[in-house]
Structure formats: C-alpha cells, structure tokens
C-alpha cells in the first residue's frame, strides 16, 4: 500500500489512474478550469511523475519564471532527502543533474504562447526516475536514476510531498520578491554557466537576464532565448 502524500495548505493532490500521464491530465483539467494549486500525480513506484496547475496573474514572460521555482523546489527536496554528498544541478532549460548525470527534469505548458499575453493556466510537471526502466545500470554514463546514486531510502511519494512544500515556499518568495531572488538561488546550481553548450544551440551560456531568458553568446553577438520556446505545444 502506497501512502498518499500530504500536501501543504493551498495545494491539493489528485492521483491519476495507472498508465495515465499526470502532465497530460493536468493540462486537460486546466483547460476545463480546475483550481490553481492542484497537483496531479502517479503512484507508480519506479519514478516520480507529477504536475502542478497554476493560474498566473501576469503575462507569460513573467509567469514562465515559475519553471525555475519548480526546479529549485526539486533541488531543495533532493537536498533534504538524499545523502549529503549527492550534488544536484540544473541544465537549462529543463533538466536536472544528480551527481553529474541527467536525472529527470521539468515540463511545462500554457494556453498562450505570446510572451505579452496573460495565460489562464500554466502547468509545470516534474519527472524523476528512481530506477532504470530499461538497460543496465551505468550503461549510459550521462543518464542516471536516484537509486543508482545512493538515494535508496527516498520514495516517490516522499519526494513529491517535499517538492510540493519547497515549491510552494519558493512560489511565495517569487510572488513577494520577484524574479531576482529566484535567479540568485537558481544561478549557483547551474553547472553550465560560462561554458560552451550545444543545446538549445551552440554558444557560451552567459547567464539569465532579468526576465529569465538565456543569454547565449555566439562570437561577438549575444542573443536571448526564452523558456517559452520550450513549452509543450498542445
């Protein structure tokens, strides 16, 4: 029997049927007007899949910054539950690294794509593998799972519970203080800053601007790349 997670005030949980993607369910329910703060999740034991529905009151270019909040919430949750020697980092725009290898990430979608438009809803999902679903452990050194990194005492529901609490806390900071505080917390956890990257395109990742857009230097030119470009199309 899997214990149901406890959610903090302002958030409510809704488990999805087996073989249903919580992210897809969250999007469909968001379209139907589900309450902001609803977390859809799966109870499968092999990984954590969950999605949070938000109802932003700002244009998409500001609302999309909540994706960084969800990443911080996930990093802090892993920091609280995982062994102390396990480092957690971000790969822009959507991946999480544990001990230097990719270990899941975030997904996001909204009902608008224009940066100046006000979305009715924003869905942010997280996916974290606990066990390899195929292949042998260590087969791909760039991919990992929590159990392979020594996080054998963490359960998906415990991580979901912790993520919901940390994410709500950082959403409060975000609403109270704006993006600067989020940026200051996110930046040290990104291990590709100042380095040459290939994704989303080749260049040097200079950092983020005040709107949370990537600053990518290619030769003498620096361009901005928005998270909005990586939102899932409905």
Q: What is the pTM of this model?
A: 0.95
Q: What is the pLDDT of residues 17-58, one digit of tens each?
A: 989 999 999 999 999 999 999 999 998 878 999 999 999 999
**Does the structure show a pLDDT above 80 at 134?**
no
182-231 residue pLDDT tens: 999 999 999 999 999 999 999 999 999 999 999 999 999 999 999 999 99
Q: How far apart are CA 124 and CA 70, in angstroms?
A: 7
Token output for 31: 């379209």
CA 202 to chain centre: 23
Q: 52: buried, middle or exposed (CB in 10 Å: 19+, 13-18, 0-12)? A: buried
Considering the domain 12-190, what is its CATH architecture? 2-Layer Sandwich (3.30)
Q: Does the pLDDT at position 135 exceed 80?
A: no
Q: Where are the domains of the chain?
A: 12-190
């Amino acid at each position: 029997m899997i214990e149901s997670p406890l959610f903090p005030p302002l958030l409510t949980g809704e488990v999805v049927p087996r073989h249903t993607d919580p992210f897809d369910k969250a999007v469909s329910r968001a379209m139907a007007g589900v309450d902001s703060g609803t977390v859809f999740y799966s109870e499968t034991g092999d990984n954590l899949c969950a999605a949070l529905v938000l109802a932003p009151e700002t244009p998409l270019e500001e609302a999309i910054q909540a994706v960084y909040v969800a990443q911080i919430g996930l990093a802090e949750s892993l920091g609280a539950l995982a062994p102390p020697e396990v480092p957690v980092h971000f790969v822009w725009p959507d991946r999480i690294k544990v001990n230097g290898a990719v270990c899941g990430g975030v997904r996001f979608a909204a009902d608008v794509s224009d940066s100046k438009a006000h979305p009715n809803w924003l869905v942010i999902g997280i996916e974290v593998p606990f066990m390899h679903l195929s292949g042998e452990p260590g087969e791909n050194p760039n991919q990992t799972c929590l159990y392979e990194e020594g996080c054998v005492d963490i359960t998906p529901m415990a991580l979901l519970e912790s993520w919901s609490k940390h994410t709500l806390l950082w959403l409060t900071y975000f609403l109270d203080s704006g993006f600067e505080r989020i940026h200051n917390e996110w930046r040290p956890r990104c291990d590709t800053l100042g380095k040459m990257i290939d994704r989303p395109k080749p260049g040097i990742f200079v950092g983020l601007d005040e709107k949370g857009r990537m600053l990518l230097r290619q030769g003498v030119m620096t361009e901005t790349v928005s998270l909005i470009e990586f939102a899932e199309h409905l």
